[in-house]
Amino acid sequence: MTKNNLNQRNKLENYLFKPKFDYENKPINRFEKDKIFNNKLELLKKLKSKIENLQECELKNNASKIVFGDGNTESPLMIIGEGPGQKEDELGKPFVGDAGILLNKMLAAININRKDIYITNVVNYRPPSNRKPETKEIKRYTEFLYEHVDIVKPKILILLGSTAMEAFFGSNLKISKERGVWKEILIKDITFLTMVTFHPAYLLRQGDQKKHSWIDLKEIRKKIDELKINI
């Protein structure tokens, strides 16, 4: 190929395959990002085995498997329920039964896809006959829950129901009074923006309370938009 032909071919290739770059002002340190992500997964794995090694726990002894967490560990939104039910115990994933189906619909109503959030429960084993976890059980598991929150480091924490509320704010509060209000909570030196709202299992029993839940959901969407959180 002559020099002239080669020049012409280069010009043509440049024209046809000119790559389009979107430049960021700040350099993206992919290595650092990957390192933090892998470290997070490692910490979650360690936390999970710490829970699996719990001794003398009635919940653990009666359940078939641990239900640790599900979803996007990088999510700015973390949701906390009460404890696994039958379906969750079977599948080892939180919120996969009827309450989970309603929760997915509630999230979709404010344009949030379930796969974009991270979700866990106060207790990681199904309580016998789906009973409510006792205060001493909530206290025991809260140590792990706080560690869970500290590893995921969401921007917003949504607490579903009175058990999740008790884990963060103690047992003397009434959910009907506390729901829908933004509060800040300090966990291991980090402040998290938190809202308590009704548990979807309660909404399945008390359909007339959905109107309050809808107000809370809209407030959550508003806060996400105000804070320019990408979800």
Q: Which residues bind ligand URA (CB under 6 A)?
A: 81-85, 88, 94-95, 97, 99-100, 121, 201
CB atoms within 10 A of CB 75: 21
By C-beta, is 85 or 180 nearer to ligand URA?
Answer: 85
Closest CA relative to residue 93, chosen from 75, 66, 74, 130: 66
Give how far the C-alpha of residue 125 lies from the chain's centroid of Cα atoms, to the nearest Å. 18
**Per-residue tokens: 177:** 């009074």
By C-beta, is 71 or 83 nearer to ligand URA?
Answer: 83
Tell the smallest beta-carbon distance from residue 166 to ligand URA (Å).
13
By C-beta, is 76 or 161 nearer to ligand URA?
Answer: 161
By C-beta, is 87 or 229 nearer to ligand URA?
Answer: 87
Tell the smallest beta-carbon distance from residue 199 to ligand URA (Å).
6
* SS3 state at 184: strand
d(CA 172, CA 95): 26
Tell the smallest beta-carbon distance from residue 67 to ligand URA (Å).
6
Tell the smallest beta-carbon distance from residue 34 to ligand URA (Å).
30
Give how far the C-alpha of residue 67 lies from the chain's centroid of Cα atoms, to the nearest Å. 14
**Per-residue tokens: 21:** 């770059």
